[in-house]
Amino acid sequence: MPKSPEQYDDIRKQKKQLIMNTALELFAENGYHTTSISQIASKAKISKGLTYNYFKSKSEILNELMEHGFNEIYDNLDINHDGILTEEEFIFFIKENFRILRENMHHWKLFFSLLLQPQVSATFAAQYEEKAGPIFNLFFGFIKSRGSKNPESDLMAISSMLEGAFLYCVAAPDVFPMDKLEEAVINSCFKIIRG
């Protein structure tokens, strides 16, 4: 029985997603360069050739992965409201970040590793800035609204602390217990702002 165009489309979408999920896992765990198309294909239980039916090249898988990943992550953050954070929203925001981190460990691991090798994906840096910019602004607004004496300085400290905490979670999850770390970070944010 021939399939309808819609069914074909569905299959395509599922297969593509399967390839991307598999690739993400392997890239994150073993690195982009140490992962071969063969490994991806065999883990996804498809043929090597089929991969090229969905992606022009290995690096295109990476590109799409990054793009999707950014969207998945930042869309969930839902920062498109009035642009002013209340204290609860700020806390919620950080907690959300940790939650998303835990749920997308693979993506984050890959993100961080690409951060250190920008030549892999030329478009990566640009995307990152585009996404990260509004968040900096949001934070900056919150810090100022809380009466910080030096909001620029506090933004740097808080951003660093969050970034560092995320790095610990992803790269050395056994050094600090994750929930304690989360709590420590949140508390410290307020200590920093308060002065």
Partner DNA sequence: GATGAATGAGATTTCATTCAT
Partner DNA sequence: TATGAATGAAATCTCATTCAT
Report the partner that residue 15 touches, choosing among DNA, a second copy, none (CB closer than 5 to 8 A by kind). Answer: DNA
If 0-12 CB within 10 Å is exposed, 13-18 middle and 19+ buried, where does residue 87 land?
exposed
> Quick one: which of 17, 30, 31, 36 contacts DNA (CB under 7 A)?
36
> Quick one: which of 56, 81, 149, 180 contacts DNA (CB under 7 A)?
56
Cβ 82 to a second copy shortest distance, Å: 26
* Residue 120 interacts with DNA (CB under 7 A): yes or no: no
What tokens does 139 get?
A: 């934070």
Cα separation, 174 vs 157, in Å, equals: 24
Q: Pick the closest to residue 151 from 133, 134, 138 (CA basis).
A: 138
* Residue 156 interacts with a second copy (CB under 8 A): yes or no: yes
Question: Is the CB of 85 or the CB of 109 nearer to a second copy?
Answer: 109
- The one-character DSSP state at 33 is T
Question: Is the CB of 138 or the CB of 162 nearer to a second copy?
Answer: 162
In this chain, which stretch among 11-19, 59-67, 84-92, 156-164 interacts with a second copy, using CB under 8 A? Answer: 156-164
Cα separation, 183 vs 195, in Å, equals: 18
- How many chain residues touch a second copy (CB under 8 A)? 44
Q: Pick the closest to residue 81 from 99, 72, 93 (CA basis).
A: 93
* Residue 37 interacts with DNA (CB under 7 A): yes or no: yes
In this chain, which stretch among 13-21, 63-71, 86-94, 185-193 interacts with a second copy, using CB under 8 A? Answer: 185-193
> Quick one: which of 17, 30, 31, 59 contacts DNA (CB under 7 A)?
59
Q: What secondary structure does DSSP assign to 88-101, as a single string?
A: HHHHHHHHHHHHHH
The residue whose two tokens read 């490994």 is: 39
SS3 label, residue 116: coil
Provide the CB-side half-sphere exposure for 114 (13 A, CA): 27
What is the binding site for a second copy (CB under 8 A)?
29-31, 33-34, 109, 112-113, 115-117, 119-120, 150, 152-154, 156-157, 159-168, 170-172, 176, 180-181, 183-185, 187-188, 191-192, 194-195
